[in-house]
Amino acid sequence: MSLPSDGDVRPDGADRPLIAVLDYGIGNLRSAEKALLHVGADARLTSDPGLVADADGVVLPGVGSFGACMSALHAAGLADVAHDAAVGPRPFLGVCVGMQMLFDGSDESPGATGLGVIEGRVRLLPDHVKRPQMQWNRLDVRRPTPLLARDGEQWMYFVHSYAAECDDAVVTATCRYGTDVVAMVEQGSCWATQFHPEKSSSAGLGLMRSFVRLVADQSQEATRP
From 33, 38, 69, 96, active-site residue: 96
Closest CA to 223 of 10, 17, 12, 8: 17
36, 43 contact by CB (below 8 A): yes
What crossing angle do the helices spanning 79-87 and 66-75 adopt, rounded to 10°?
Answer: 100
Is 198 known to be catalytic?
yes
Closest CA to 31 of 162, 165, 163, 198: 198
Type of residue found at 133: Q
Helix (H, G, I), strand (E, B) or coil at 142: coil
From 33, 108, 186, 198, active-site residue: 198
From 69, 186, 190, 196, active-site residue: 196
135 vs 157: CA distance, rounded Å: 6
Kindly compute the dihedral angle of the four CA atoms of residues 166, 194, 148, 204, in this order, to the nearest 10 degrees: 180
80 vs 176: CA distance, rounded Å: 34
Catalytic residues: 96, 196, 198
